[in-house]
Amino acid sequence: MRKPLLVLIASAFVFGCAQKTETIDYTLLSDEERLAAAKEMAQNTIMVDGHVDLPYRMKVGGFTLQREILDVSVRTDGGNFDFPRSKEGGLDAPFMSIYIPSGYQDRGGAKVLADSLILMTERLVNIWPDKFAMAYSPSDIEKNTQEGKVSFPMGMENGAALEDDINNVQYFYDRGIRYITLTHGKDNLIGDSSYDTMRTHNGLSEYGVEVVKEMNKVGIMVDISHVSDSTFYDVMKVTDVPVIASHSSARKFTPGFERNMGDDMIKALGKNGGVIMINFGGSFVDGDYNEKSGAVREHIVNWLAENGLSRTDSAAVAYIEKYSAENNPFPNVEKVADHFDHVVALVGIDHVGLGSDFDGVGDSLPTGLKDVSMYPNLIAELLKRGYSKEDIEKICYKNIFRVWDAVIAASGK
């Protein structure tokens, strides 16, 4: 836990006018006052989220370039993202995840899928230009935010869409991609995945080394979420610029879950100047979530069978709601804040950000962080633990902007 930080405004006389002394200690406010302060910060601070899976949510929902597209300009039923809820939560720039499932690297079509999801994202902007705008740099986000629009920067989740052509790095930069998650659920041509036990390359492949170098050259951020530990350390040796983990959390709280980052990895990321953007998903936040949620599901299945009911029966709906509430398996906002505390304790406030994985982790999201309207709940918890307004600004956008600007500068663009 961070020590409380007092925000002091000293007494002074400027042009003969006295300024009053004011002291704010957010740790001493009531919960209601602290939440009000958090909501004000969210509304007046640029907020970037490193990973929101809206494009693939649209694809799974059956939306294509030829058919009606999901209307996220209004409040939607289901999902975690839409324009009204973004405005309520203060979200200004969710990185749209151009997600390529691992199967595409085997059966082909990864690049084609990536192009279709990019076009789908662009279509949202074309349909509702008063609400959404594409963003290819921090300055784009600043401009769009001033105009009251939600920015859509894009990151590609799974470098499989590069296929075996290094020229596709420049191609996807030109298409608007500003980070590439090197792997996903399986090893690919670039390197090994945290979810795959094959260890095909024991880290980055020779091609993967060239991909990282080309990303540095072109100006695309390297995203090490999803990679194996060996791949991560290989990236650290190769990259000339800071890297990001767009949606990962701290392995300390999820022992054995390689998808999260271990302490030594977080320290190496800090030394590199990079940022870990904390994932809100239940299994990322709480090492016991899978077991607890599994037990709830098993009980409900058995109860339904014993009583000869289906989930849609009114009696079953009432029972499931009551039982789930009494045996809530979901982590809470405090559990998420623990990950921020841990990263800050290891490497400082300059190396942590928001990477919710909204629309990508199903119904596992924590109580109090179920959609993009709820970021103030997390900010309030961090204020309660002694984080300052400047700390919140770093978490919300300054840290990721610093890395992004460094990547742009190194590319000469």
C-beta atoms surrounding 295 within 10 Å: 12
Whether 212 and 272 have beta carbons less than 8 Å apart is answered as: no
CA distance 180 to 272: 18
| Mean model confidence pLDDT for the chain | 92
**pLDDT of 139 above 80:** yes
**pLDDT of 9 above 60:** no
> Residue 233 is part of a domain; what is its CATH number?
3.20.20.140
Residue 323 lies in a domain: no
**pLDDT of 288 above 80:** yes
Q: What is the pLDDT of residues 173-187, one digit of tens each?
A: 999 999 999 999 999
Report the first-to-last Cα separation within the chain, whole angstroms.
40
Question: What pLDDT, on the 0 to 100 scale, is given for residue 300?
Answer: 86
CA distance 232 to 225: 9
Per DSSP, helices labelled H in 239-332 are 263-272, 282-285, 289-307, 314-326
- Helix 333-347 and helix 375-384, axial crossing angle in degrees, nearest 10: 60
Rg (CA), the chain: 22
On the CB side of 344, CA atoms within 13 Å amount to 20
Q: Which one, of 345, 363, 347, 185, lies nearest residue 280 by Cα?
A: 363
Q: Which one, of 2, 79, 50, 98, lies nearest residue 278 by Cα?
A: 50
| pTM for the structure as a whole | 0.90
Structurally, the chain folds into a number of domains equal to 1
Residue 296 lies in a domain: no
**pLDDT of 16 above 60:** no
Q: Which one, of 48, 41, 139, lies nearest residue 391 by Cα?
A: 41
Work out the pLDDT band at 60, boundaries 50, 70, 90: confident
Q: What is the pLDDT of residues 362-398, one digit of tens each?
A: 889 999 999 999 999 999 999 999 999 999 999 999 9
Residue 14 lies in a domain: no
Residue 280 lies in a domain: yes
Residue 305 lies in a domain: no
**What's the sign of the alpha-carbon dihedral 157, 194, 340, 365?**
positive
Under DSSP, the state recorded for 287 is T
Residue 301 lies in a domain: no
Question: What pLDDT, on the 0 to 100 scale, is given for residue 23?
Answer: 62
Q: What is the pLDDT of residues 207-250, one digit of tens each?
A: 999 999 999 999 999 999 999 999 999 999 999 999 999 999 99
Work out the pLDDT band at 67, boundaries 50, 70, 90: low
Question: What pLDDT, on the 0 to 100 scale, is given for residue 66?
Answer: 54
Whether 112 and 161 have beta carbons less than 8 Å apart is answered as: no
Q: What is the pLDDT of residues 257-287, one digit of tens each?
A: 999 999 999 999 999 999 999 999 999 999 8
DSSP assignment of 96-116 equals EEEE--TTHHHHS-HHHHHHH
Domain that holds residue 84: 31-286+331-411
Residue 245 lies in a domain: yes
Residue 316 lies in a domain: no
Q: Which one, of 150, 116, 146, 113, lies nearest residue 130 by Cα?
A: 150
